[in-house]
Amino acid sequence: MLKLNYQSEERQTFSNLEEILKVVEIDDFGIPDINFNKKTITYQINHQRCIRLSDLKFWIVNNLVRIHLGQLLDLCLKLLQKVKFLESKSIQHNYLDQNRIWLILDQNSASPSVIYQFLSYQILFTGYQSPCYESGLKVIQATTQIKNIVKLFLEECIGNINLKKKTPQNKQQILEPIIEQCKNNQNIQEIIKSIEKILLQYRYQENIQNKSSQSLDIDDDNNYDRQKLIEQINIQIDQIIECGSKHGQLLIEKLLHYYIPIISKQLGLNSKLNLDYQNEVEKQRNILDQQEQQFKQKISDQIKILIKNSIIEYEKDFKFEITESDLNSIEKEIINSIMESQYIKYFQNTYQLHHNTKDIMQSKIQITNKFLNEEVKDKISLFYMFKILELIDNLI
């Protein structure tokens, strides 16, 4: 089993408190941290029990995790049923994507692994009212978006799904009707029926009590060539997480993203591999540090202009000596406040948001511009309040 022994936080925004409280009751991640004033919600994620759909897809595509065709279809079925359930409860998710879908493993479940495993889980969503700040994705109903997610998931994973060697059926032909239905935006219930028909036709078996099966009668079940490498793979993953943990969740995930294809190739060669994690840690940390400094520099220029304009307004009524040191201090406070804001920390939710550095930088600037002016006004107001109180104190 893959042991991803680390914790992370996922931060999302919301607009309607009453609706988000309904969501928290349905999608039980434990007790999230809800900031009612700033309208943000923070989930604590235990990656030993919580699997992001986009991560699972990445593992399967890179042939690290093995999953039966029956399990793949059952997962797609659960995704569609989840959206149907929310629809029945009149709950809207207008910003659904593969990074906001989580598989929460039950206590009796194994974890995804380099060999076939019994998986028992619940599907939970996050980000119901939180725009996809990284892509500018507009409002799309979950009933539409889930079909796009299922379609891409099937198309990208099917290459690493194995059937029995003597099976006459072609796996692409089996999945093509479902992919076409999703592509043509057909009714969710019709797609559910198509999946159920395939599961019935190929005798999908799932023995929950004995934690066995979860496969079609045409699914491959050969684990022998990979079984002996499980311990070695877990040691490598533990080392990666340990090296990255000193620098935060984003670096851990970037390291995993870099090394998983390498580890998977090692599996195929059935050989051991000595990896130099520290050099990659330094490389990725430098990249993240450079991106942070570039972002700070870009907003610094805007902040200087806003501070100057705000002071001009205050000087119509107050005349205080303002030093260069004062201005630098104010600017530094504003930048620190922005970096600690939930809007910027949102971009640390997953490495998946960082594939295009230029786009991420632009997205950060766009979201910062929405609250930067207010941030500067608040800091300047506090500064002048302090100056006035200081003046009164000196006069007493």
Q: Which domains does the chain have, with CATH numbers?
A: 7-224 (1.10.510), 280-395 (no CATH)
Give the C-alpha separation, 204 to 200, whole Å.
6
pLDDT higher than 60, residue 68 = yes
Q: For 174-196, how does the pLDDT look when each residue is reduced to its tens digit (9 = 90+)? A: 999 999 999 999 999 999 999 99
Average pLDDT on 93-115 reads 93
Mean pLDDT of 154-158: 96
pLDDT of the residue at 274? 74
User: Token match 């001009």: residue?
Assistant: 312
Q: What is the mean pLDDT of residues 302-316?
A: 90
Q: What percent of the chain is predicted at pLDDT more than 90? A: 62
Q: Pseudo-torsion of CA 104, 36, 253, 101, nearest 10°?
A: 40
Residue 135 DSSP label:
T
How confident is the prediction for the chain on average, in pLDDT?
Answer: 89
Closest CA to 57 of 257, 262, 280: 257
Residue 169 has what pLDDT? 75
Residue whose C-alpha is closest to residue 175's, from 291, 268, 75: 75
Q: How confident is the model at residue 322 (pLDDT cuts 50, 70, 90)?
A: confident
Place of tokens 């009164």: 392
Task: Measure CA 288 to chain center.
Answer: 17
| CA-based nearest residue to 254, from 269, 264, 243, 265 | 243
Work out the pLDDT band at 228, boundaries 50, 70, 90: confident
* pLDDT recorded at residue 183: 93
Quick one: the chain helix, strand, coil %, rounded to 5? 60, 10, 30
pLDDT in tens, 245-272: 989 999 999 999 999 999 888 776 655 6
**pLDDT higher than 80, residue 73:** yes
Residue 265: predicted pLDDT? 83
- Taking residues 111-115, report their average pLDDT: 91
Tell me the whole-structure pTM to 2 decimals: 0.91
